Structure 1
Amino acid sequence: MPKSQARIATRQLNPLLGWSAFVFLTLGVLVAGMARAQEGPIIESHGYSFYGDLKYPADFAHFDYVNPEAPKGGEIAISALGTFDSMNPYSRKGRGGGLSTVMYESLFVEGVNSESAPADAYGEYYCLLCKSIEYPDTQDWVIFHMRPGARFSTGDPVTAHDIEFSHNLLLDQGLKSYADAVRQRIPKVEVIDDYTIKFHFTPGISRRSLISQVGNVPAWSKKWYEETGARLDESRLETSPGSGPYMVEDVKVNRRIVYQRNPDYWGNDLAVNQGRNNFDRIRIEYFGDENAAFEAFKAGEYTFRNEGNSKNWATAYEFPKVQDGYVVKDEIADGSPPTPSGIVFNLGREVMKDKRVREAVSLAFNFEWTNESLQYGLFKQRTSFSEGTPVMATGLPTGAELAFLESLGDVVVPEVLTQEVRLPHTSGAARLLDRRNARKAMKLLDDAGWAVGTDGKRRNADDEPLRLTFLLNSSTSATLSAVVENFISNLDAMGIEAVLEKVDSSQYTERERDRDYDLVYDQYAAFLGTGTGLMQFYGSEAASYSLFNPAGLASPMVDAIVQASLQAQTVEEETTAMTALDRALRYEFIMIPVWYNDVYWTAYYDQYEHPEEQPAYGLGYLDWWWFNEEKAAKLIAAGALR
């Protein structure tokens, strides 16, 4: 309380309280001042990074990688495979429609389609719904000063009450793994006034990711939820109003979703939005399988394709529209660490708990044959959870990394300290079943108690067969299906009764959430730095139910490394801890790593343009690309598009 306010308050006291009341009031002011002083200096900023360094100053005009003069207009149309039955992606129920988070903004700016914003800086966050933030050097709390001009698409203001409501809605009706983690770290939210909100953080825990966590909560309309009675944990097609640049225009279940740019979008003039949100419409067309989707692209039913099928990229882009220059085929460098995708083991299944069985199963995957025979040699074999980055573990742990691991005590498995980091096995490309690897696998299975019977099938001492189910989405690409089918063939040759269960998108989503599989093709999160979110992906805390941890990994060693990483005070300490995490995850062996690509394969009708220099951490075709009206007119005149 300022001194002038303290004097006014003192004069208004009942005279009967006398001198004692004045003493207590004065002491209260002094104590509050002392507490604030103990927190250290107060930082006021237009953005946030844990170490306090921001690439962009307060008066920046636009992100460096965008074209601030990019025209607004036109449509970009993309494809999606499978089905959807909900426009609420925040619930475990139902299968959310594509881009169904695009309407919602946060206090901090975010990229479209889960990309970073800015896409040229890692771990930096800039104000969007807020105009500034303040927090003590200790980061014990944070105050967001919001922009009074921010509006939902209904015209209603976005206030601190909406932010508080959204935060609590996620705790009460959101994913359990998220809610459990946040409750432990953020005990109190305080609305100071309509446009000022304060988050308090739990004493004695790491301050890592706390400010960025609350700054990235979607802003939902409290008024809409209270008037409609809608719930966040229900499947529904109706969407709540958002404050973002796009609104839902049309939804046809399992066929099409169209988003239109809000002509009255409140944030058009903000620096963080310059050169972004350039398309008038974003259209998503749904297809039952990849072949149908690709044929539709050739016919011009949609206009941009981020290709993921190596066979298509190698052989299918020779159709006339490419040859005539109507469709551009382009490779664009990708500076992000590749997604750690692969064949994931369900560690909740008893048979998968034996590492020898997992080792044997992995030896059935032949990357070299797969890449040469099915993928045209276009991929590289992934080894790390942060491939090709400064935090990728190599060789034996030495120096700072070794000292860090040793400081954690007995929780670190001795082999992690004394053995070189795990690398994927190598195979011969000449034949699908590498005989050398097959012999290794046979011995591992024998040692694990799965002997070969007279029928060639492996059984344990209780005469139970070694039976594994591989869950796969039926709408997946033909190439990935072929990869899995050949992997299954090698498992069969080893005496394992392997069953491939292809199910439709809805069944796949439900069974994946329930972990109803032994093996599944899935992914984890790549990392360049630490954060509390790592516990949802890799921690024991929510291992039994986290949707982000498909293996159900629960490792005391990994937990200890993540927790210690949160205490890092320098970039060097953080890098050391993340390198140790990569090493430990590879030791735990929760998946068979497959392949990665260090470029984006893009194909699009020649009516889109993008900056000459792309940022490291995003492709941005829905974010900072734009529509060229003259080029579009030429395509229509030539009959390439309708």
Structure 2
Amino acid sequence: MRIVHSLAFSRARRGSIRAGASAGGGAGRWARATVAVLAASLALPALPAYAAPGIAQFGTPKYPPNFTHFDYADPDAPADGELVFQNYDQPQSYDSLNPFIVRGLAAPDIQNLMFDTLMQRSWDELASEYPLIADDVEVAADGRSATFHINPAARFSNGDAITAAEVKYSLDTLKSPQASPLFASQFAVIKDAVVLDRLTVRFDFGDASRANPLIAGDLPVFSPKWGVQPDGRRLPFDQIATDLPIASGPYLIESRKNDKTIIYYRNPKYWAADLPARRGMYRFRRITFKLYLDQYTKLEAFKAGDDDVDVEYSATQWARKYVGKNFDNGMLAKGMFREGPAQMQGFLINTREPQFQDVRVRHALALAFDYDWMNRMMFYGQYRRLNSYWEDSPFGATGVPSEKELKLLEPFRATLPPEVFGPMVRQPSTLPPNSLRGNLRHARELLAEAGWHFRDGALRDESGTPMRIEIIDDQPGMDRLIVPYTQALQTLGIDAHMRELDSALYQKRLDNFQYDMTTFIYPEVTIPGIELIRRFTSEAAAQVGSENYPGIRSKAVDALVHAAVGATTLDDLEAATHALDRVLINEYYLVPQYYMPHARIGYKTTLGHPNVVPVSYRYEDWVIDYWYRKPPRRTQTASSASSATAVH
């Protein structure tokens, strides 16, 4: 299973990115194609020019210019103590200190901890940003540029001032073939960065999308001195792997004993610690990451007290394994916390494979997944079924299409399943009066319509070629989900089996689209945006390392993504994503699985967290960025403590 951190509007900081095995010239082609998609937007109405410390994509920012901290931050929380964390983003090892390139696996959470962005996203709004490296932004009246002023106090960890030149260098580097193509795509909306003076930089955009200034605000900033060798020679950016970063963020690397452990320490000279967007954030003096080979070992390490936090993704583990003496004596606790919009998780179907190009085949594969039995028998009823790419979000489709949705969909009616134009479909159920047997019977009918018939002991096409499906994964324990599914597929005569791979090989095959099916998670976003291009457009389908893993090539999808990215009002954006949701769901590019309505976190009771839980957040991010170590309890009065000391 693989989670990709969205570079768009999913959270206040940018997660580490895994991309393709080779950026090469393809990144540039993909970036140009992205610009072409955006530039194809209809002329947008002019926006009022404004200058403000905070910006919002729609409406006005929640927090006023004089705000002191985010509501979900505790500025009075202790800023001492240590955090020992486990696997971050699933890798079992790392071999790079550069989170911006394709080569290698980056150290856990290094981008968040060591590289600040121009602006800080808030976690309780759809899309708003507040000052960080930049202390002011002015958006042009025509919406085609935004000018950022750099805080004169902004510094890199080596003491150098952060200036407009470093901001331009960071953008140019991330858009170059030496960086991951995901960054080239993310910032493709920016045509150029123009240095106006030492502390002022203007970003010119390819169109007037309201998202563009916020995308520019997401730019991580790093020093051009990073990678310069003692002899003055500068390494090419894609070869900077083990050189210690010159950080713009709050933490530095203290030590890294091997490829499974890394220790960060908070920079005592971090210049932004008292900014409103940073108050109550990064409260640990030292953060240690330990990478375990499997979820069972890391759980036992947590239960033994070796680690401070365990974010749990297994329903069985949560229901049965979070017990023992350290839970009984109060050293450990387990908590369930409110979650925001759901993330889309499912069995990706690689439509680049000829056997999956007929939507009836993909629909049949969806019918074979018995979610209700799994949730009842294996997941202790902890999950809910996914019926949308934006579940529990205003951007997910419900009911029948609105007039605005139909206007977007109608030009493609002849090429779309008729179900797109009816009530939003719900995923197959096996609850009475339905059953898996009935669903498989329907699946067999769909396969027959698509030319697949059972003969000579297998499901075969007209040429006699049997259908074979390999489902790959790199996570121990996923067999509990995959094996029952392959058994249902085998009932249909499909030669289906699971193959478990190590993380490196799995990632290579994923990046190069060398798989039939795999479980994948698209993280939730508070507001859909530029990530739609990477995930769903035809151009991205051909780009190694893109997030269009199903290989979607659809003029309808391209047009709907274009409508969403170019939306000028929230109502227009919702209409576009509703229509897009209907197409994606009814084309069965993946088999939707389920989502957790609550975060499940085991933790030492010596840790505390703010009382206000963010609206949208990733569990690991919340712990690392906003939790803290409680001060030791005073169990004696000062006089009795003195007496006790005297006795000893």
TM interval, short-chain normalised: 0.7 to 0.9
> How far off its partner does 1:529 sit?
3.1
1:92 paired to 2:96: no
**Partners of 1:42 and 1:259 in 2: CA distance:** 42
1:77 paired to 2:84: yes
- CA contact 1:530–1:562 (8 Å) conserved in 2: no
**Partners of 2:425 and 2:290 in 1: CA distance:** 42
> How far off its partner does 1:141 sit?
0.9
- The one-letter amino acid paired with 2:296 is N
For 2:152, the equivalent position in structure 1 comes to 148
CA-based RMSD of the aligned residues comes to 2.4
**Partners of 2:568 and 2:424 in 1: CA distance:** 26
Matches within 5 A, 1:304-315: 304-315=309-320
Q: Quick one: higher RCO (CA 8 Å, sep 6+), 1 or 2?
A: 2
**Partners of 1:509 and 1:314 in 2: CA distance:** 30
- The one-letter amino acid paired with 1:154 is N
- The one-letter amino acid paired with 1:76 is L
> How far off its partner does 1:392 sit?
2.0
- CA contact 1:472–1:521 (8 Å) conserved in 2: yes
Percent of residue pairs identical: 29
1:236 paired to 2:229: no
Moved more, 149-158 or 236-245: 236-245
Structure 2 alignment gaps of length 5 or more = 1-44, 637-648
2:119 to 108, 122, 126: 108
1:274 paired to 2:279: yes
**Partners of 2:587 and 2:102 in 1: CA distance:** 28
For 2:424, the equivalent position in structure 1 comes to 421
- CA contact 1:206–1:566 (8 Å) conserved in 2: no
Deviation string, structure 1 residues 517-561 (Cα, Å, up to 9, x no partner)? 000111224344342331111222212225322112122112111
- CA contact 2:335–2:601 (8 Å) conserved in 1: yes
- CA contact 1:539–1:558 (8 Å) conserved in 2: yes
**Partners of 1:366 and 1:182 in 2: CA distance:** 40
- The one-letter amino acid paired with 1:89 is P
1:529 paired to 2:540: no
**Partners of 2:59 and 2:246 in 1: CA distance:** 34
For 2:291, the equivalent position in structure 1 comes to 286
Deviation string, structure 1 residues 188-246 (Cα, Å, up to 9, x no partner)? 221112211111122xx342321112211110111224555334434723332111111
- CA contact 1:177–1:542 (8 Å) conserved in 2: no
- CA contact 2:209–2:568 (8 Å) conserved in 1: no
2:380 to 376, 387, 390: 376
1:333 to 324, 334, 338: 338
**Partners of 2:210 and 2:138 in 1: CA distance:** 16
**Partners of 1:363 and 1:338 in 2: CA distance:** 22
1:487 to 480, 485, 488: 485
In structure 2, do the counterparts of structure 1 residues 235 and 591 end up closer, same or farther at CA, with 3 Å as the change threshold? farther
Moved more, 516-525 or 437-446: 437-446
Deviation string, structure 1 residues 293-327 (Cα, Å, up to 9, x no partner)? 11111111111111111001111122111122211
**Partners of 1:553 and 1:150 in 2: CA distance:** 43
Matches within 5 A, 1:369-518: 369-406=373-410, 408=411, 413=416, 415=418, 418-428=421-431, 434-454=436-456, 456-473=457-474, 476-478=475-477, 480-518=478-516
For 1:621, the equivalent position in structure 2 comes to 623
In structure 2, do the counterparts of structure 1 residues 508 and 40 end up closer, same or farther at CA, with 3 Å as the change threshold? closer
> How far off its partner does 1:451 sit?
2.1
1:608 paired to 2:618: no
**Partners of 1:317 and 1:233 in 2: CA distance:** 43
For 2:536, the equivalent position in structure 1 comes to 538
**Partners of 2:634 and 2:503 in 1: CA distance:** 34
**Partners of 1:328 and 1:84 in 2: CA distance:** 30
- CA contact 1:249–1:260 (8 Å) conserved in 2: yes
**Partners of 1:41 and 1:197 in 2: CA distance:** 20
- The one-letter amino acid paired with 2:95 is D
Moved more, 440-449 or 38-47: 38-47
**Partners of 1:551 and 1:414 in 2: CA distance:** 18
- The one-letter amino acid paired with 2:628 is W
In structure 2, do the counterparts of structure 1 residues 612 and 464 end up closer, same or farther at CA, with 3 Å as the change threshold? same
**Partners of 1:430 and 1:89 in 2: CA distance:** 50
**Partners of 2:110 and 2:99 in 1: CA distance:** 6
**Partners of 2:407 and 2:309 in 1: CA distance:** 49
For 2:321, the equivalent position in structure 1 comes to 316
Q: Bigger radius of gyration, 1 or 2? A: 1
In structure 2, do the counterparts of structure 1 residues 557 and 223 end up closer, same or farther at CA, with 3 Å as the change threshold? same
**Partners of 1:324 and 1:161 in 2: CA distance:** 56
- CA contact 2:459–2:466 (8 Å) conserved in 1: yes
For 2:122, the equivalent position in structure 1 comes to 118
Return the TM-score normalized by structure 1.
0.86
In structure 2, do the counterparts of structure 1 residues 509 and 576 end up closer, same or farther at CA, with 3 Å as the change threshold? same
Deviation string, structure 1 residues 364-416 (Cα, Å, up to 9, x no partner)? 2110111111111111111111112222212221344334434x565873725
Name the SS for the 1:622 alignment partner: helix
1:219 to 212, 218, 221: 221
For 1:198, the equivalent position in structure 2 comes to 202
- CA contact 2:420–2:582 (8 Å) conserved in 1: no
- CA contact 2:348–2:517 (8 Å) conserved in 1: yes
- The one-letter amino acid paired with 1:469 is E
Deviation string, structure 1 residues 239-282 (Cα, Å, up to 9, x no partner)? 32111111111223332111111111111121111111100111
**Partners of 1:85 and 1:633 in 2: CA distance:** 45
Structure 1 alignment gaps of length 5 or more = 1-37, 110-116, 635-642
Residue-pair matches, total:
580
In structure 2, do the counterparts of structure 1 residues 590 and 55 end up closer, same or farther at CA, with 3 Å as the change threshold? same
**Partners of 2:350 and 2:285 in 1: CA distance:** 43
**Partners of 1:586 and 1:429 in 2: CA distance:** 23
In structure 2, do the counterparts of structure 1 residues 416 and 363 end up closer, same or farther at CA, with 3 Å as the change threshold? closer
In structure 2, do the counterparts of structure 1 residues 230 and 333 end up closer, same or farther at CA, with 3 Å as the change threshold? same
- CA contact 1:261–1:281 (8 Å) conserved in 2: yes
In structure 2, do the counterparts of structure 1 residues 375 and 235 end up closer, same or farther at CA, with 3 Å as the change threshold? farther
**Partners of 1:92 and 1:158 in 2: CA distance:** 26
**Partners of 2:68 and 2:449 in 1: CA distance:** 65
1:246 paired to 2:251: yes
- The one-letter amino acid paired with 2:204 is H
**Partners of 1:503 and 1:99 in 2: CA distance:** 23
- The one-letter amino acid paired with 2:315 is S
> How far off its partner does 1:55 sit?
0.8
